[in-house]
């Protein structure tokens, strides 16, 4: 089987696909609203500090374990020690659960793209959004369509599906983002939004905010569900990883910053609140678009941008479980993807309905959508990362494999894997349990 494993066609293909996984709804939908709820600039400073220090280690580690073992998640953990394979299996399970709520938002985006003409005529955007997501049939169909799109590209394989999708969608994403940033910066009072983003108010520094920044950083870098481990396993022997990790972090942070620079000046320019939570992108922004010249076209461009970001991340979410099914159960890629389509749909449909007819069905006091978001983002992603750091730090003896250039950085990496990152993650998990 191992000889039949696909490999990236070039270093560029690997990098752009890994960036495609990292840059997603986490950057353009989640980052601005989490920042808005956590004090603006001070959140940004904390986030950047964390992303350059604590997050570097698990990101490099995940890619490295994939590259070293050349196996999908379960096999990779098993290669380190057969006892660990059950921990490895948590990764594709997390992937399937994440996809069930992530792809619902993908479906909402498709709706906003299709309704671009109509959007400018709505009188109450909040009401429109809550009515739309509560409908019993239409959002489910859109969710299924989004799942199909991600699974389709994954089924076509590394070269013809995953790489191709990223090579098309990522440049489109970058161009649209820059275009929208320019428009936003030219709105009246745009500098108020920039001040909100870049002038830190240190009185807002608190532990909860630091943990929110850490959680956001892990989510946005796609750490903790084996997507990057699987991508790492397709790297050819001769590629250096550390530089790639810097590139991924730098690009992901740039996209998040640009998303903020696109959104906050617009929000402030129209006297809106930056802390409106998940509705920021689906309620506040369309309202703003309806008030600017060519707003319908700008709205269309924005949701296409969001779509590009969501698809490339969605593909990486599917690829982890897909690799596990193909390699461990000897399935063809197409069969594995068909099976994943069914499994993800079966979870995603009731989750979509949790905004409407299944709204009263609660798991631990939360709707199905909120529960899956909470379970995966707050608990499973950090727990999986914690486990992999401890396994690599204590069993793989990464220090001996010379992935870093000098002894000092090797020791720092080693201490990070064994102690610093696990401690930070334990705090994150405990905070997530509350």
Write out the residues near ligand PFF by the rule CB under 6 A. Answer: 21-22, 24-27, 98, 219-220, 222, 225, 227, 313, 316-317
* Start-end of H helices in 329-380: 333-353, 368-373
Q: Which is nearer to ligand PFF, 61 or 313 (by Cβ)?
A: 313
Decide whether 154 or 316 has the Cβ nearer to ligand PFF: 316
Angle at 402 between CA 399 and CA 408, to 5 degrees: 65
Q: Which is nearer to ligand PFF, 187 or 343 (CB)?
A: 343
**CB 410, min distance to ligand PFF, A:** 27
Q: Do 428 and 215 touch, CB atoms closer than 8 A?
A: yes
Minimum CB distance to ligand PFF smaller for 98 or for 165: 98
Q: Quick one: CA torsion of 143, 145, 149, 155, rounded to 10 degrees?
A: 100
* Residue 54 C-beta: closest distance to ligand PFF, Å: 16
Considering the complex, what minimum distance in angstroms separates the CB of residue 61 from ligand PFF? 14
51 in Cβ contact with 200 (< 8 Å) = no
Compute the least distance from the CB of residue 47 to ligand PFF, in Å. Answer: 13
Smallest gap from residue 323 Cβ to ligand PFF (A) = 13
Q: Number of helices (H) and strands (E), helices first, in the chain?
A: 24, 2
Question: Which one, 317 or 396, has the nearer CB to ligand PFF?
Answer: 317
Distance in Å, CB of 229 to ligand PFF, minimum: 9
Q: How far is the CB of 382 from ligand PFF (least distance, A)?
A: 12
Q: Which letter, b or e, does each residue of 204-226 get, where b requires 16 or more Cβ atoms within 10 Å of its Cβ?
A: eeeeebbbbbbbbbbbbbbbbbb
DSSP labels, 105-128: HHHHHHHHHHTHHHHTT-S-HHHH
| Closer residue to ligand PFF in complex, CB, 174/190 | 174
- In this structure, the dihedral spanned by the alpha carbons of residues 182, 302, 30 and 22, taken in order and rounded to 10 degrees, is -90
Work out the burial of residue 152: count CB atoms within 10 Å of its CB; fewer than 13 is exposed, 13-18 middle, 19 or more buried: middle
Query: Who's near 36: CB < 8 A, 6+ residues apart?
Result: 264, 267, 273, 274, 275, 276, 277, 280
Total length of the chain: 434
d(CA 170, CA 158): 16
Between CA 382 and CA 380 the distance in angstroms is: 6
The residue nearest ligand PFF at its CB is 26
User: Least separation, in Å, of the C-beta of 94 and ligand PFF?
Assistant: 8
**Cβ proximity to ligand PFF, 44 vs 98, nearer residue:** 98
- Which C-beta is closer to ligand PFF: that of 313 or that of 367? 313
Least separation in angstroms between CB 142 and ligand PFF: 18
Of 256 and 398, the one with the shorter C-beta distance to ligand PFF is 256
């Amino acid at each position: 089987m191992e000889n039949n494993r696909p490999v990236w066609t070039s270093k560029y293909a690997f990098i752009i696909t890994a960036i495609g996984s990292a840059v997603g709804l986490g950057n353009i939908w989640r980052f601005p609203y989490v920042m808005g709820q956590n004090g603006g600039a001070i959140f940004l400073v904390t986030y950047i500090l964390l992303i350059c220090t604590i997050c570097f280690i698990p990101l490099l580690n995940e890619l490295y374990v994939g590259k070293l073992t050349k196996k999908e998640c379960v096999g990779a953990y098993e290669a380190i020690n057969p006892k660990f394979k059950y921990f490895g299996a948590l990764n594709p399970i997390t992937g399937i659960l994440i996809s069930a709520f992530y792809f619902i938002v993908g479906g909402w985006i498709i709706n906003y793209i299709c309704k671009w003409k109509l959007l400018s005529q709505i009188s109450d955007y909040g009401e429109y959004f809550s009515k739309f997501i509560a409908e019993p049939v239409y959002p489910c169909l859109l969710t299924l369509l989004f799942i199909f799109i991600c699974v389709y590209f994954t089924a076509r394989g590394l070269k013809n599906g995953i790489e191709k999708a990223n090579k098309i969608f990522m440049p489109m994403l970058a161009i649209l983002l820059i275009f929208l940033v320019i428009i936003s910066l030219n709105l009246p009072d745009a500098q108020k939004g920039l001040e909100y983003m870049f002038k830190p108010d240190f009185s807002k520094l608190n532990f909860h905010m630091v943990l929110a920044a850490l959680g956001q950083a892990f989510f946005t870098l796609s750490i903790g569900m084996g997507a990057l481990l699987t991508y790492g396993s397709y790297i050819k022997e001769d590629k250096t990883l550390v530089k790639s990790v810097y590139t991924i972090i730098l690009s992901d942070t740039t996209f998040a910053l640009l998303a903020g620079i696109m959104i906050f000046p617009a929000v402030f320019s129209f006297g809106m609140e930056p802390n409106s939570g998940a509705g920021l992108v689906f309620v506040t922004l369309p309202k703003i678009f309806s008030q600017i010249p060519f707003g319908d076209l700008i709205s269309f461009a924005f949701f296409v941008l969001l779509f590009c970001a969501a698809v490339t991340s969605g593909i990486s979410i599917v690829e982890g479980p897909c690799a596990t099914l193909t390699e461990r159960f000897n399935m063809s890629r197409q069969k594995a993807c068909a099976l994943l389509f069914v499994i993800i749909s079966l979870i995603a449909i009731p989750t979509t309905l949790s905004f409407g007819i299944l709204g009263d069905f609660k798991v631990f006091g939360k709707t199905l959508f909120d529960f899956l978001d909470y379970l995966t983002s707050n608990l499973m992603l950090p727990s999986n990362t914690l486990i992999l750091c401890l396994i690599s730090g204590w069993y793989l003896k990464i220090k001996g494999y010379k992935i870093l250039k000098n002894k000092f950085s090797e020791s720092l990496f080693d201490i990070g894997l064994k102690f610093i990152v696990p401690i930070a993650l334990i705090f994150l998990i405990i905070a997530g349990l509350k």
